[in-house]
A and B are shown apart, each in its own frame.
Chain A
Amino acid sequence: MSNEAVLHAHSGVASSHDAGGHHEHHHHETFITKYVFSQDHKMIAKQFLITGMVWAVLGGLMSVLFRLQLGYPDSTFPWLEDILGKWAKGGRITPEAYYALVTTHGTVLVFFVLTAGLSGTFANFLIPLQVGARDMASPFLNMLSYWFFFSASVVMLSSLFVETGPFSGGWTAYPPLSALHDASPGSKTGMDLWIISMALFVVSSLLGGLNYIVTILNMRTKGMSMTRLPLTIWALFFTAVLGVLSFPVLLSGFILLIFDRNFGTSFYLSDIFVNGVGALPNEGGSAILFQHLFWFLGHPEVYIILLPAMGMVSEILSVNSRKPIFGYMAMVGSLFAIAILAFLVWAHHMFVTGLNPFLGSIFVLLTLLIAVPSAIKVFNWLTTLWRGNVRFTPGMMFAIGFVSLFISGGLTGIWLGNSALDVHLHDTMFVVAHFHIVMGVASMFGMFAGIYHWYPKMFGRYLNNTLAYIHFWITMAGAYLIFWPMHYEGLAGMPRRYYSYEQWESFKNFGDLNRFISTVAMIVFAAQILFLLNFFYSIWKGRKVTNQNPWGSNTLEWTAPIRPGHGNWPGEIPEVHRWAYDYGKDGKEFIPQTTPVGADESHH
């Protein structure tokens, strides 16, 4: 089926206009169909992005609040009681509130910001534009995907306001803590809402993911063979595959949890005596089973977060080095290897659960194997810069920052993947440092890189560069200042998820460091507000884009009009004649994918 026909079948919007060769939309679009229940992938992308940004602010704010407790454990802040009420009696966050904040922060950042906000945004925005399609395979399912995410958001948000508080057992939600209403106040209504929200979220991811896969496989424009796809698309493709194969497993884990919570089954429960309640009837379940189901998604999930960032960084590094990406096939191959291995390493999160030691050894081997494709990617990025002509656009700055962070955090993965060392480091601040650097901050950098790079395409305006550079340098320095010293806390054995270390002889002497980290965290948070101001101000007041291809880029999205309508290209969809990375070839600065191969062109 051609793009035209597909789109016609589903929305009937663009194709009729193409036939007439009109350049903009004359038909009636109400506010609702254009901005709310839009089926245009570009609008849906923006919806994902802005919802993700709202969550990023909320999640970030939560981290500032709980860092306040860690950094200033003996100070009180009366204004906290003003905003949090009973959760901050006397101006100090209570343990209940602390754990609720940590849990919500983790859940929201991992799933709502770095999954929906990142791949939701860029898969939607870039796939049709870069493969040369008028829209997603199913614009309607795509719209549903956003609205499921939106409802997940609403439910999660409402859980913050229930009497017993939101769920507070950590983003991994291990039962029995998460299964027993009486084990913790957060495991009452808060947990029900948490699961409902997550279930809705899984539906959203599946709808989105299937759509992305089908679009990439079936709707590439003429000449766009798989090996001519930009690396962004490859990355988004593997991301979607990972999601589609692993989210259902998570959902099944949640369903069993719902049964254990509400219908008296014993999938995860056995031999339990709860204080204040007494012995429970459940016998024969395994609490570890949930961890297997969780991490079977959980580990792929970290790559679901990371791969889109890797893809965008590859693209942005190449464009702004004015040089082809080094080792295109190796880049695709390593993405593939990572995607496969991502399914085979989940138990490295479970080395100290009493896992069979032999099984543990296998997981050590497979885990450290992932470091090989990761190393290939790093060296290929470095070689891409070598003898290039580097333009430090804000997107490029964040892309370079990404590589730096990925190196730093990937290397500590080698420590944790080795089970004997993990016995020492598991669940300490070392792990917190590892995954924030390699996943949290690095993927955030990928996201910022993407936003800065494609903002002109999204809104037809530029972001302010000066603000962008300030934003970059504060965030870059801040990320390292916050998370680098945490390795030392971990090496001192400091456990994670502690409300206070003051009563511990072994861990209490990092008070000054904790204060420092909390202070930097607030500054970095303020810098993100600066970014938000820039973002929203520039949507309406930014400098207008006048150049259809402002970065001198080869990919298809820059052949569309500056403000593309629904359907993306007013006339025919362009045909593709080459890969996306002919930069600096035969003395030409760049050769767009739409340029036919010349007779005298050198071969590569």
Chain B
Amino acid sequence: MYLIIAVIILVFLIIFQIAKASEYVAVLKGEEQNRKQTNKVNGFLMFGFMIMGLIGVWYCNELYFKKTLLALPSASEQGEKIDSMLWVTLAITGVVFIITQIILFWFAFRYQESDKRKVYFFHESNKLELLWTVVPAIFLTVLVVIGLRNWNYITGGPPEGSNPLRVEVTGAQFKWIFRYPGKDDQFGKKYYKVIDNANNSLGLVWRDSAALNMKDDPATHDDIVMESTVYVVKDRPVKFIIGSRDVIHDVGLSQFRMKMDAVPGIPTTLWFTPKYTTTEMKKITGNPDFIYEISCDQMCGNSHYAMRGIVQVVTQEEFDVWMAKQKPAYYDAFPEKDPAKKDTAAVKGPLAVVPAKK
């Protein structure tokens, strides 16, 4: 450690001494001449930087492009549109980038100081300025049109008659809680003041409470609640109804190119249509460990980086099988009402109502 510090200081001192010495040399050699020489060196370096920079851009792409999501097909139909828009944007801005950077460094190099050149007193040209007002404006209009079409599509919600799967997603420090509406296809009421970490993590209203002026909502009785993993169906639109229990979180679905904040008190929504099951995606990526992850994308506290959820994309048949095995959260809170346990838990008479079928 001390050695490293010593070495660093030494290097600094050496650079510093050289720099001072070169200043004295400059004075001896004649400052003007020295300045011109340095100017040439820097002009050349400008040109070199441009060449190295362009090579670097290419090389960086070689190294990392395959690690980006662009190297893979989008996992959602909506994401395909976003990808194609991304490519158009990349093409336009990429061309502008290359042209302007080359011009910049080329001009710096080409018009470096020379005794022979007489500068061109040129400070205005309405034609030129009009040109570079109008041309960017046209390209931007194209981008805006593409962008807004996609924006309207993705914020528009699933189309009529597409029978979307609805899942409620709730962020909490530092986990994801999911709720399916159950057989009645209705999310029962919830109220945050009855949240109980032990067996009612969402605050479902399934008890009467005079103090809170609430009545048991039977629609909660078949709601299915689970943590960390959510199941969705391939080719079937899924609509997330998103909320938060405490601070702001964000449902980040990078493979699906989707993202939406989870805000306490203000529900938000997001929808997409998964294209590949998790199993299919393992093949496409060639990664046997592949998994769709939900990353929390909004700073939410010290374990923000570990707020991980999982999306399992399955076929409808697999989904039905899986769903049939799920037990409503109600029975965790009221085990005595669980029909599965009815035979063991003695007969409780009329209390053991089976949740409304509908």
Contact = CB atoms under 8 A, between A and B. Distances in A.
Nearest to B13: A533
B122 A387 contact: yes
Given A361-B151, A484-B57, A493 B69 contact: yes
B293 A488 contact: no
B18 interface: yes
A499 B296 CA distance: 13
B93 interface: yes
Interface string B101-136: 101110110011110011111111100110011001
Contact of B297 (A287, A330, A408, A427): A427
Contacts of A581: 123
A419 B49 CA distance: 34
A581 B19 CA distance: 33
A584 B121 contact: yes
Contacts of B18: 466
Interface stretch (A111-119, A131-139, A217-225, A467-475): A467-475
Contact of B43 (A375, A378, A390, A407): A390
B140 A382 contact: no
Given A327-B124, A407-B100, A420 B293 contact: no
B173 A286 contact: no
A328 B123 CA distance: 7
Given A271-B192, A361-B148, A408-B97, A325 B85 contact: no
Contacts of A529: 12
Given A376-B129, A382-B100, A177 B122 contact: no
Nearest to B116: A389
B200 to A, nearest CB: 11
B312 interface: no
Contact of B147 (A180, A352, A400, A418): A418
Contacts of A587: 118
A411 B125 CA distance: 25
Contacts of B45: 473
A426 B297 contact: yes
A185 B15 contact: no
B197 interface: yes
B64 A488 contact: yes
Given A467-B19, A492-B254, A505-B293, A420 B151 contact: yes
Interface residues of B, number: 124
Interface in B53-111: 53, 56-57, 60-61, 64-65, 67-70, 79, 81-82, 85-86, 89, 92-93, 96-97, 100-101, 103-105, 107-108, 111
Interface in B286-338: 287, 289-291, 293, 295-306, 308
A385 B120 CA distance: 10
Contacts of B192: 271-273, 279
Given A390-B113, A505-B291, A495 B245 contact: no
Given A321-B119, A464-B20, A581-B123, A353 B263 contact: yes
Contacts of B260: 352, 354, 423
Interface in A488-535: 488, 491-493, 495, 497-501, 503-507, 509-510, 513, 526, 529-530, 533-534
Interface of A: 79, 95-96, 99, 168-170, 174-177, 180, 183-186, 269-275, 278-279, 283-288, 321-330, 352-354, 357, 360-361, 364-365, 368-369, 371-372, 375-376, 378-380, 382-383, 385-392, 397, 400, 403-404, 407-408, 411-412, 414-415, 418-421, 423-424, 426-428, 464-467, 469-470, 473, 476-477, 480-481, 484-485, 488, 491-493, 495, 497-501, 503-507, 509-510, 513, 526, 529-530, 533-534, 537, 543, 581, 583-587, 604
10 contacts: A272-B264, A375-B133, A385-B104, A386-B107, A419-B147, A469-B38, A495-B296, A499-B304, A510-B67, A530-B12
Given A176-B247, A379-B132, 10 more contacts: A177-B248, A274-B173, A376-B132, A386-B120, A390-B107, A392-B108, A420-B154, A423-B257, A506-B255, A604-B121
